[in-house]
Amino acid sequence: MNSPANITDPLVLFMPSGKRGRFPVGTPVLDAARQLGVYVESVCGGRATCGRCQIEVQEGNFAKHKIVSSNDHITPKGAKEERYERVRGLPERRRLSCSAQILGDLVIDVPQDTVINAQTIRKDADTRVIARDAAIRMCYVEIEEPDMHKPLGDLDRLKIALMKDWNLKSLDFDFYLLPQVQGILRKGNWTATAAIYKDADSETARVIALWPGLKNEAYGLACDIGSTTIAMHLVSLLSGRVAASSGTSNPQIRFGEDLMSRVSYVMMNPDGREGMTVAVREAISGLVDKVCAEGNVQRNDILDSVFVGNPIMHHLFLGIDPTELGGAPFALAVSGAVHVKASDIGLKLNQGARLYMLPCIAGHVGADAAAVTLSEGPHRQDEMMLIVDVGTNAEIVLGNRTRVVAASSPTGPAFEGAEISGGQRAAPGAIERVRIDPDTLEPKYRVIGSELWSDEPGFLDSVQATGVTGICGSGIIEVVAEMYLSGIISEDGVIDGGLAARSPRVTANGRTFSYVLKEGEPKITITQTDVRAIQLAKAALYAGTKLLMEKQNTDHVDRIHFAGAFGSFIDPKYAMVLGLIPDCDLDKVSAVGNAAGAGARMALLNRGYRREIEDTVSKIEKIETALEPKFQEHFVYAMALPNKVDPFPKLSAAVKLPPRKTVSEDGVAGDAAPRRRSREGHAARRGRE
């Protein structure tokens, strides 16, 4: 903005980027977006003719942001906007941001279908081969024709043929099929294919769909409902092949960036739960359209589905009020596996299609963590495996075949770019890799959409279409770790203002200092507040991990798996330098991609995996970090980089860590101290205390 914002000016928050600022009354929404670096496309230069700058005003009380947003806080449609709507059409609730002006506090949603460089959803299926024993079987039979001497109904003769040919002991039919049976059998000239559903161990199977003649296609959905993104795989139930995969931003983010803010929205808005349930179901329906189009599959051929998500996503998807999860004792409405018809939640697939949701582990460790556990299998091996799914609420699982424990830690949205001054979600144009020269303190970086580093020839041409718009989660982790390795920040996370005399990259920012990562427009800086936000997030995660290690009576982990789309792009070295994870051989730290989606596919293709995870979840011990007296102590130590007391010998052997130094809050460096006390020395000191 050209002039300092007045604190009485309206506050405008743009979603899903999370960027916000104050603007004078009368500022066009498009201008506000541009000043904040929020990408809103406009081809016509603000003449209200191209329609590419569409936005939506979200109405309600957004308590976390202290914003009450309303359509009354934006100007009515003017002549240009009305002309565009009359000639070209404008979807309901959409406005043209070049014409709409700010009148009061607003939460603005930038619809992802209007954005060229929308958030990159990176949740492709892995290539693992899954043994098939699906809950759905396709059974072809030839049926005796009616006989006046054998007055048995068509459905009963079909039932007898299926039980005889397919060794079924007991068989029921979905009621909707009864009026269709005679027509189907005659159309198939007394041959038919039945979709048989048998999930649990009961002897009764059920016919859920029926086709004339031979039908050799059947598909299922495996879907991971994340708080930020939703990933879906369309899978052949007959071959196990992934026919198509797609992902989208979770539209609930406009109601709140993190889970607790969404619970708050439900509590403060009478229609909040219904609004979020409708939003996520519509997004899922849209994904079904996408994967069906990509896989050339009809919705009617989808017979089964498996969904996973954290407890709040789980409840909202099922239409359950998540309010009880907002405070102790964090009571789940349902914790066990859910078996329903897909139509019960309004999902339009085959009329008889089924839906299965994996069990939740605890109030803040959900079906997604159960799916990750199923996928990675710590309970199947001897090694002590740590699984970390980094998100707005990190889920942590630690264990082996002897014992598995789990916890959640409130990391907040900092790792996803929210509440970081130059932060944004992963999208073309976002900085995702950073290196800082320790001698000159000059940075170089890579952005999503280009393979070139910023100091390489051709970089500017390679990012011309998107520009450099901000910094996403993996870039934030790397820049803070690099600032530590190059001595710009102390182990306590304070930016060393004394380096301002050495490099113009270190600049005063009031009483603290900042590091300029990118000059120009937009200027991207890492502020002291940004560093603190990352420290708080990583300390919460590490403290939760330490509690689990203590419960397992171990001082090390053998293997670390990063789960989730974000985890796929975290460099293990920088995660360990930051102190996000405990010391471990770097070659034993790996990203496992969308493991929740992989677990959902396993449960889709093999009902034995459903029984396995149901049994495993019943045995996992949940640790509630809020009730553990040592959590705060671990948290305080974990604020340092990598950690105040825990040694990192394996990391130190692979990476040259800087000498310890202290920097006061105003950026003045003090004397260097010994690198790190030993674990034994720390234990002895605590024993004396």
Q: Residue 317 above 70 pLDDT?
A: yes
Residue 308: CA count within 13 A, CB half-sphere: 34
> Is the peptide bond preceding residue 16 cis, with omega within 30 degrees of 0?
yes
pLDDT tens profile 84-104? 888 888 888 899 999 999 999
Q: What is the 8-class DSSP label of residue 492?
A: T
Q: What is the mean pLDDT of residues 310-332?
A: 92
Instruction: Let me know: does 154 contact 185? Beta carbons within 8 Å.
Output: yes
Q: Residue 5 above 80 pLDDT?
A: no
CB atoms within 10 A of CB 523: 12
Residue 586 CA, chain-centre distance (Å), reads 25
With tokens 């085959």, the residue in question is 350
Q: pLDDT at position 119, please?
A: 45
Q: What is the mean pLDDT of residues 594-617?
A: 95
Residue 527: CA count within 13 A, CB half-sphere: 14
Q: What residues pair up with 606 in beta bridges, in sequence order? A: 133
CA distance 191 to 636: 70
User: Quick one: residue 40, left, alpha or beta (phi over 0 = left, psi -120 to 50 = alpha)?
Assistant: beta
CA distance 383 to 33: 50
Q: Residue 18 above 90 pLDDT?
A: no
CA distance 237 to 234: 9
Q: Give the 3-state secondary structure of residue 299.
A: helix
Q: Residue 613 above 90 pLDDT?
A: yes
Instruction: Let me know: does 15 contact 108? Beta carbons within 8 Å.
Output: yes
Q: pLDDT at position 689, please?
A: 36
Tokens in use for 245?
A: 């995969």
**E strand map for 3-45:** 11-15, 20-22
pLDDT over 90, % of the chain: 65
Q: pLDDT at position 348, please?
A: 96
Q: Residue 494 above 50 pLDDT?
A: yes
pLDDT over 70, % of the chain: 91
Q: Residue 36 above 90 pLDDT?
A: no
- Which strand (E) or helix (H) includes residue 432? strand 430-436
Nearest to 555 by CA among 658, 662, 678: 678
Instruction: Let me know: does 275 contact 303? Beta carbons within 8 Å.
Output: no
| Domains of the chain, CATH where assigned | 11-114 (3.10.20.30), 136-212 (3.10.20.880), 220-357 (3.30.420.480), 376-413+534-654 (3.30.420), 423-523 (no CATH)
Instruction: Let me know: does 139 contact 166? Beta carbons within 8 Å.
Output: yes
CA distance 232 to 225: 9
Instruction: Let me know: does 464 contact 471? Beta carbons within 8 Å.
Output: no
Q: Residue 495 above 60 pLDDT?
A: yes
Q: pLDDT at position 454, please?
A: 96
pLDDT tens profile 38-66? 777 665 656 787 787 899 999 999 887 88
pLDDT confidence tier of residue 113, bands split at 50, 70 and 90: low
Q: What is the 8-class DSSP label of residue 249?
A: E
Q: Residue 681 above 60 pLDDT?
A: no
Answer with the residue of higher pLDDT: 489 or 8. 489
Give the C-alpha distances (Å, rounded to integers) separating 115 from 37, 61, 411.
14, 26, 28
CA distance 205 to 214: 20
Q: Residue 522 above 50 pLDDT?
A: yes
Q: pLDDT at position 678, please?
A: 38
User: Amino acid letter at 679?
Assistant: R
Q: Residue 117 above 60 pLDDT?
A: no
Residue 468 CA, chain-centre distance (Å), reads 23
The mean of the pLDDT values for the chain is 88
pLDDT confidence tier of residue 253, bands split at 50, 70 and 90: confident
Q: What is the mean pLDDT of residues 309-326?
A: 94
Nearest to 575 by CA among 537, 533, 627: 537
Among 49-58, 337-346, 397-406, 539-548, whose mean pLDDT is lowest? Answer: 49-58
CA distance 686 to 689: 5
CA distance 136 to 8: 60
Instruction: Let me know: does 447 contact 430? Beta carbons within 8 Å.
Output: yes
Give the C-alpha distances (Å, rounded to integers) separating 156 from 33, 164, 179.
65, 12, 13
Q: Residue 127 above 70 pLDDT?
A: no
pLDDT confidence tier of residue 565, bands split at 50, 70 and 90: low
Tokens in use for 220?
A: 């299922």
Q: pLDDT at position 122, please?
A: 46
Give the C-alpha distances (Å, rounded to integers) separating 259 from 226, 231, 263, 387, 635.
10, 18, 6, 21, 21
Instruction: Let me know: does 251 contact 259? Beta carbons within 8 Å.
Output: no
Q: What is the mean pLDDT of residues 166-185?
A: 94
Q: pLDDT at position 423, please?
A: 85
- Which strand (E) or helix (H) includes residue 462? helix 459-462
- Which strand (E) or helix (H) includes residue 373? helix 367-376
| Dihedral (Cα; 550, 555, 559, 563), 10-degree rounding | 40
Q: pLDDT at position 473, please?
A: 87
Q: Residue 526 above 50 pLDDT?
A: yes
pLDDT confidence tier of residue 676, bands split at 50, 70 and 90: very low
Q: Give the 3-state secondary structure of residue 559.
A: strand
